[in-house]
Amino acid sequence: MKQKETRNLIDLYSVGPATVRDLKALGITRVEQLVGQDARKLYDRLGRLSGKRCDPCMMDVLSAAIAQAQDPGLPKEMCKWWYWSRVRKSGQK
């Protein structure tokens, strides 16, 4: 994909239809809207909107999506949510 082409949320690694619905509930409908977002804050907002605690892996999916939005050339390993699970569990940012 050329860098100037428009990317859709569903085109991001680790983002499926359910995540697209969650992002839309958060008011995010375009990849560009993820740039500069904080995964923890989005995760907390999503929990408040749904009225229940979200699986912590959702924070990892959000981190992966944000990272890809900020860097379209991100290494493939860093595009996957489980990379961000390891980062979260190790206490790194």
- Domain coordinates in residue numbering, the chain: 9-90
Model confidence pLDDT, tens digit, residues 1-45: 444 568 999 999 999 999 999 999 999 999 999 999 999 999 999
Q: For residue 3, give both structure tokens.
A: 């860098």
Q: For residue 58, give both structure tokens.
A: 């959702």
Model confidence pLDDT, tens digit, residues 58-92: 999 999 999 999 999 999 999 999 999 999 999 87
Percent of the chain with pLDDT strictly greater than 70: 94
- Alpha-helical segments (H) within 39-91: 39-50, 57-70, 81-90
Radius of gyration of the chain (CA): 13
Predicted structure pTM score = 0.90
Q: For residue 36, give both structure tokens.
A: 């500069």
